[in-house]
């Protein structure tokens, strides 16, 4: 098997309503997805004439790298979407796929009930690339042989390309470093295939036939394969013939037209959180329907220090739209009292947000839609792509945390975008850099950074520690280099000594990671002097804390957030 491993002043009891003016040019990719009663999806909204639309479909066999493949294809300016390995043809035909990639996975093809590809994959209609387990499935289904491990192969390996004329390896060096992660190996390739590359331990490391079917045992999608992106680009352009016309700028007109068509004369409320995702969603919808949109910013009591004032002012000054402010801090904390399990926290917070939005919608009259800044990684982590080959990691509050029955239908324009794509959209919108480059902040807020039960006292301790951390990260000019950096308040207490007195205080964990899309992440090698200042200041400025530790775990095996 592959074995891959503070609040603006308001009238008591009433939401603050601030109407601002202005207009913003919008450029964004739109996806309106059906989820929990949402509007029907129209996946191929690319701003490109229908006859020129193209995509590469990635079939997910359970690899931790599956979504990364789709991301790499998009970097070639070709739209790509991740779907379950057993997706029927009629459910992908509307994407006009020019090629299909079969991902890796943890299974063995000779096991009972091993995931295998649908028959249409092998009909020769469009090119196919099998990666790792994808190659093994192709081999097994087409009459070759896959064997249990005699020599496993993990990590960096030198690949020797024997077929220098293969379009898959056009412009690639004869010997390249690749990343291997497999136990099983192809012992005999299927009839009609030729071996086109090998390694010291894997004689059949790549294969191809005349029907444009390719199999490779290594992972081109990871950064550990330096020329991997070029190999994927060769498949997309030389083998599949894609033109590379998927760009953010192509989505403006069709995106706006699609929103107008879906909403009609209806009303939309948008959930503002302070991050770039919700800002872009709100801007896009506002451009399409103007004052039919009302934005709602909720203080759930789980935000960072000064975040309520700063975020509200940013939206009021820059986004130019109707904004309602709702202070619901006590309400959320009451619902979270006694709750320890992080999945319960997420579901409670998601439900409470929806209840508030529905209440505010009733005050506005008939409201039909709720807009959210859900991203593609949120969807993938909240639930598998639909196949039994993928596992749910955790529920995101605005995906799996939504109530089963909702009065409002969802509009989620960013549902199939990665964070870096959203940031590109934000810059094209003209949104302020402070908003565009803000580090991601989880929807459940500090509730999942306070380990165990959430209380006002614990939240204040965490806010103080987190404020020190962010101050030092920005002082060291590291903020833009990090994907996320934050403090975690644990339930652990330890003995300390301050001024000759014994203390028994909380342990705070510090987390800082680098990443491109949050699907994988590496712990940041922060300078020792920065870590020393952070630790010293937290212990001295937050009386309840007497010990600070630094999390040096990557994702995988850990997630970025602790809960």
In a domain, 11, yes or no: no
Phi/psi at 119 (5° precision): -60, -30
Are residues 201 and 283 located together in one domain of the fold? no
Q: For residue 384, give every residue at least 6 positions away whose Cβ sits within 8 Å of its Cβ, in sequence order, or none.
A: 60, 84, 390, 391, 392
* Local confidence band at 139 (pLDDT 50, 70, 90 cut-offs): very high
* C-alpha–C-alpha distance, residues 109 and 211, integer Å: 22
> Which candidate, 240, 265, 349, places its Cα nearest to that of 301?
349
User: Phi first, then psi: what are they for 217, rounded to 5°?
Assistant: -85, -20
Q: Do the strands 484-498 and 501-514 form a parallel or antiparallel pair, or are they unpaired?
A: antiparallel
Higher local confidence (pLDDT), 191 or 361: 191
Query: Which of these ranges, 240-249, 347-356, 411-420, has the smallest mean pLDDT?
Result: 411-420
Distance, CA of 333 to CA of 429 (rounded, Å): 35
Judgement on whether residues 209 and 277 belong to the same structural domain of the protein: no
385/453 same-domain check: no
User: Taking Cα atoms as reference points, which of 511, 459, 465 lies closest to residue 486?
Assistant: 511
Q: Which residue has the higher pLDDT, 517 or 428?
A: 428
What's the average model confidence in pLDDT over 434-449?
90
Structurally, the chain folds into a number of domains equal to 3
12-66 pLDDT tens trace? 333 333 332 222 222 222 222 233 333 333 343 444 445 467 999 999 999 888 8
Give, for 213, the enclosing helix (H) or strand (E): strand 213-216
This prediction has a pTM of: 0.69
The residues pairing with 82 across neighbouring beta strands, listed in sequence order, are 58
The reply to whether 291 and 406 lie within a common domain is yes
Angle at 118 between CA 114 and CA 119, to 5 degrees: 120
Q: Are residue 384 and residue 418 in the same domain, yes or no?
A: yes
We report the CATH number of the domain holding residue 228 as: 3.40.50.880
Domain that holds residue 383: 16-29+248-436
Residue 557 belongs to some domain of the structure = no
Q: Which residues contact 405 (CB under 8 A, 6 or more apart)?
A: 37
**Are residue 214 and residue 286 in the same domain, yes or no?**
no
Does some domain include residue 456? yes
Lowest mean pLDDT among 95-109, 216-230, 328-342, 373-387: 373-387
Give the CA angle between residues 159, 163, 164 to the nearest 5°.
90
Q: Catalytic positions, please?
A: 132, 219, 221
> Is 197 inside a domain boundary?
yes
Any idea what the CATH number is for the domain that residue 303 is in? Answer: 3.40.50.620
Q: Quote the pLDDT of residue 41.
A: 32
Residue at a domain's end among 412, 436, 460: 436
Residue 556: cis peptide before it, omega within 30 degrees of 0: yes
Domain boundary among 239, 273, 303: 239
Residue 160, preceding bond cis, omega within 30 degrees? no
Residue 184 and residue 90 in one domain: yes
Are 383 and 275 contained in the same domain?
Answer: yes
Residue 177 lies in a domain: yes
Specify the pLDDT at position 47.
45
Domain presence at residue 4 = no
396 pLDDT above the threshold of 50: no
Are 215 and 90 contained in the same domain? yes
The domain boundary, picked from 239, 269, 292, lies at: 239
If asked whether residues 306 and 189 sit together in one domain, one would say: no
What does the DSSP assignment read for 397-464?
TTTTTS-SS-SSEEE-TTTT--HHHHHHHHHHHT--HHHHTPPP--TTGGGGTB-SS--HHHHHHHHH
pLDDT reported for residue 454: 97
Give the chain's count of helices (H) and strands (E): 13, 21
CATH number at residue 474: 3.30.300.10
The widest CA-to-CA distance across the chain, in whole angstroms, is 79
Rounded Cα–Cα distance for residues 268 and 249 (Å): 25
CA distance 40 to 34: 5
- Does residue 1 fall inside a structural domain? no
| Residue of 475, 472, 478 whose CA lies nearest to 538 | 472
Ramachandran angles phi, psi of 49, nearest 5°: -50, 140
> Does residue 43 form part of some domain?
no
Residues 361 and 475 grouped into a single domain: no
DSSP 470-483: HHHHHHTT-GGG-S
What are the helix (H) ranges across 129-251?
133-141, 228-234
| pLDDT of 65 | 84
**Element of type H or E holding 155:** strand 153-161
> What is the percentage of the chain residues whose pLDDT exceeds 90?
54
Contact predicate 67/519, CB 8 Å: yes
The Cα–Cα gap between 409 and 284 comes to: 17
Joined tokens for residue 29: 């990719």
Q: What is the pLDDT of residues 508-562, one digit of tens each?
A: 999 999 997 777 789 999 999 999 999 999 999 999 999 999 999 999 889 999 9
Give the separation between CA 387 and CA 69, rounded to whole angstroms: 17
Cα separation, 421 vs 425, in Å, equals: 6
Helix (H, G, I), strand (E, B) or coil at 525: coil
End-to-end CA distance of the chain: 30
Say which residue the tokens 């509200």 belong to. Answer: 312
> Per-residue pLDDT averaged across 166-173, rounded?
96
CA 378 to chain centroid, in Å, comes to 5
- CB-based contacts of 49: which residues, under 8 Å, 6+ apart? none
Q: 31-45, 63-77, 190-204, 458-472: lowest mean pLDDT where? A: 31-45
How high is the mean pLDDT of the chain?
84
Least confident of 112-126, 186-200, 406-420: 406-420
Rounded Cα distance, 373 and 273, in Å: 9
pLDDT computed for residue 397 by the predictor: 44
Q: How far apart are CA 56 and CA 70, in angstroms?
A: 8
Cα–Cα distance for residue pair 412/372, rounded to 1 Å = 5
Among 244-253, 319-328, 509-518, which is the least confidently predicted range? Answer: 244-253
Q: What is the pLDDT of residue 14?
A: 36
3-state secondary structure labels for all residues of 58-96 = EEECCCCCHHHHHHHHHCCCCEEEEEECCCCHHHCHHHC
Q: 52-66, 147-161, 212-226 — which is least confidently predicted?
A: 147-161
Confidence of residue 320 (pLDDT cuts 50, 70, 90): confident
**What average pLDDT does this structure show over 446-453?**
96
Are both 354 and 460 inside the same structural domain?
no
* Highest mean pLDDT out of 256-265, 267-276, 534-543: 534-543
- The H or E element containing residue 360 is helix 342-363
The number of residues making up the chain comes to 563
Average pLDDT over residues 364-376: 86
Report how far residue 364's alpha carbon sits from residue 370's, in angstroms, rounded to the nearest whole number.
Answer: 13
């Amino acid at each position: 098997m592959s074995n891959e491993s503070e609040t603006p002043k308001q009238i008591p009891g009433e939401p603050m309503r601030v109407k601002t003016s202005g207009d913003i040019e919008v450029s964004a990719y739109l996806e309106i997805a059906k989820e929990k009663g949402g509007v029907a999806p129209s996946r191929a909204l690319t701003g490109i004439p229908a006859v020129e639309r193209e995509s590469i479909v990635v079939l997910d066999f359970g690899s931790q790298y599956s979504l990364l493949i789709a991301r790499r294809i998009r970097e070639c300016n070709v739209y790509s979407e991740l779907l379950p390995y057993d997706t029927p043809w009629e459910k992908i035909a509307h994407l006009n796929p020019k090629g299909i990639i079969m991902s890796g996975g943890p299974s063995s093809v000779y096991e009972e009930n091993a995931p295998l590809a649908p028959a249409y994959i092998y009909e020769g209609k469009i090119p196919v690339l099998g990666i790792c387990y994808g190659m093994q499935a192709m081999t097994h289904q087409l009459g070759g042989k896959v064997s249990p491990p005699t020599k496993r192969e993990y990590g960096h390996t030198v690949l020797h390309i024997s077929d220098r004329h293969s379009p898959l390896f056009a412009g690639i060096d004869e010997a390249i470093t690749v990343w291997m992660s497999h136990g099983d190996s192809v012992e005999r390739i299927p009839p009609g295939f030729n071996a086109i590359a090998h390694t010291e331990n894997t004689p059949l490391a790549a294969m191809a036939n005349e029907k444009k079917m390719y199999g490779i045992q290594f992972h081109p999608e990871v950064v550990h394969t330096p020329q991997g992106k070029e190999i994927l680009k060769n498949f997309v352009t030389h083998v599949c013939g894609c033109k590379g016309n998927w760009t953010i700028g192509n989505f403006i007109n069709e995106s706006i037209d699609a929103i107008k068509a879906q909403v009609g004369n209806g009303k939309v409320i948008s959930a503002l959180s302070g991050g770039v995702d919700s800002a872009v969603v709100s801007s896009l919808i506002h451009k399409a329907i103007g004052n039919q949109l009302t934005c709602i910013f909720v203080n759930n009591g789980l935000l960072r220090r000064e975040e309520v004032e700063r975020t509200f002012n940013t939206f009021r000054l820059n986004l130019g739209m109707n904004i309602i402010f709702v202070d619901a801090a006590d309400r959320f904390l009451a619902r979270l009292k006694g709750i320890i399990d992080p999945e319960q926290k997420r579901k409670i917070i998601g439900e409470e947000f929806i209840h508030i939005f529905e209440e505010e919608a009733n005050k506005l009259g008939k409201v039909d839609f709720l807009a959210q800044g859900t991203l593609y990684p949120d969807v993938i982590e909240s639930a598998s792509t639909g196949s039994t080959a993928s596992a749910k990691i955790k529920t995101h509050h605005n995906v799996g945390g939504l109530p089963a029955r909702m009065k409002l239908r969802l509009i989620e324009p960013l549902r199939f975008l990665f964070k870096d794509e959203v940031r590109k959209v934000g810059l094209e919108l003209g949104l302020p850099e402070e908003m565009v480059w803000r580090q991601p902040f989880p929807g459940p807020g500090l509730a999942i950074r306070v380990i165990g039960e959430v209380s006002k006292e614990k939240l204040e301790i965490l806010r103080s520690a987190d404020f020190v951390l962010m101050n030092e990260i920005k002082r060291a000019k590291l903020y833009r280099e990090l994907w996320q950096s934050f403090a975690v308040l644990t339930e652990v207490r330890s003995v300390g000594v301050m001024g000759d007195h014994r203390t028994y205080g909380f342990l705070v964990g510090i987390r800082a990671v680098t990443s491109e899309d949050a699907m994988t992440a590496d712990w940041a090698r922060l300078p020792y002097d920065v870590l020393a200042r952070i630790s010293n200041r937290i212990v001295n400025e937050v009386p309840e804390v007497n010990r600070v530790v630094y999390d040096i775990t990557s994702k995988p095996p850990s997630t970025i957030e602790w809960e």
